[in-house]
Amino acid sequence: MSLQLVFVMDPIDRVNIDADSTFAIMREAQRRGHDLLYCESADLELEMDRAHARVRPLTVRQERGNHYLLGEPSRVALDEVNAVFMRKDPPFDVEYVMSTYILDRIDRGRVVLVNDPQGIRDSNEKLFALHFPELLPRTIVARHPRTIRAFIESEGDVVVKPLTGAGGAGVIQLRRGDVNTSAVLELLTQEGRVAIMAQRFLPRVTEGDRRVILIDGQAVGVINRRPKAGELRSNMHVGGTAEPAALTPRDREICDRIGPELQARGLVFVGIDIIDGHLTEINVTSPTGIQEIDRFDGGSIAGTLLDWVEAKSLLLQPPSSQ
């Protein structure tokens, strides 16, 4: 069965074909004979209460510098396709929120959503983890620098980070007595106008930050991302190194705890971060890591995801012929 799949994403010409999870999903979908339709957030529109998008047919290939071919644009009603993948990277700004409001108008009885736009909107990648406080290191969210300074005094060593970024942007370690504390907090909180997160620092982060991928609430793969020497962040684009890993009992315990809530929110494709047995983030917008996992494990997480999409699509009403 050939499906029409819409991918809402960042510009296709900027994709790193050797690491991008969306590219891996599109490649596997194309291999299965599905039709790929590409658009960006700016192409999403509402006509009364129906969501539309200006899309272009897409062909992808594993060839650097020549990895895509776009067809002629057309406008489609998103209730008439089989699945919509919201794969735009953060920052989760006002325009991102507006995109989720448009996608909200898609009929969930007809179309598979990966991920559900309301689930994305309601699940800030930093704050959502606080629904499971027993899994986290001690954490606060505050705007006032004095509150965060008191937390630093209490903990001695913390990590501060903005609530809407991604890829490790703005993640900074602060220690009790650090002369840069006031300046950093003024910058990140915009002098007390913007809330940020502060978490107790986990020294074993030097051993790696585990990225676990879940599909429909079930763990399907993991890698360990080790930061380079002298770096706090383990994200690959800032020099982190991917290492093979296996799911541990603690990984599975965390996934079992959060899985039902992911399913309830329609968060089908999720990546979580675990440091020293502590959950630190739940990534619901455009989680990455599947290409690295597949290289180590020899599997296909994109294939597992598309198996789920195909099965779900069969359960829904066929697209209308309006």
Q: Which of 27, 225, 226, 265 is catalytic?
A: 225
Question: How is residue 168 written in tokens?
Answer: 């490790």
Place of tokens 């982060």: 205
Residue 27 annotated to the active site: no
Residue 49 annotated to the active site: no
SS3 231: coil
Residue 121 annotated to the active site: no
Residue 126 annotated to the active site: yes
Q: What is the CA radius of gyration of the chain?
A: 20
CB burial of residue 306 (10 Å; 0-12, 13-18, 19+): buried
SS3 120: helix
Burial string for 57-88 (b: 16+ CB within 10 Å, else e) reads: ebebeeeeeebbeeeeeeebbbbbbbbbbbbb
Residue 276 annotated to the active site: no
Q: Which of 27, 121, 210, 211 is catalytic?
A: 211
Q: Which of 161, 210, 226, 265 is catalytic?
A: 161
Distance between CA atoms of 139 and 169, rounded to whole angstroms?
Answer: 18
Distance between CA atoms of 321 and 4, rounded to whole angstroms?
Answer: 13
Distance between CA atoms of 125 and 21, rounded to whole angstroms?
Answer: 18
Q: What are the residues facing 269 on neighbouring strands?
A: 215
Residue 273 annotated to the active site: yes
Residue 80 annotated to the active site: no
DSSP per-residue string spanning 240-259: -EEEE----HHHHHHHHHHH
Strand (E) or helix (H) holding 54 = strand 50-60
Please give the span between the terminal C-alpha atoms of the chain, in angstroms, as a whole number: 20
Among 71, 67, 68, CA closest to 56: 71
Residue 211 annotated to the active site: yes
Distance between CA atoms of 239 and 229, rounded to whole angstroms?
Answer: 9
Query: Which residues are designated catalytic?
Result: 126, 161, 211, 225, 233, 273, 281, 283
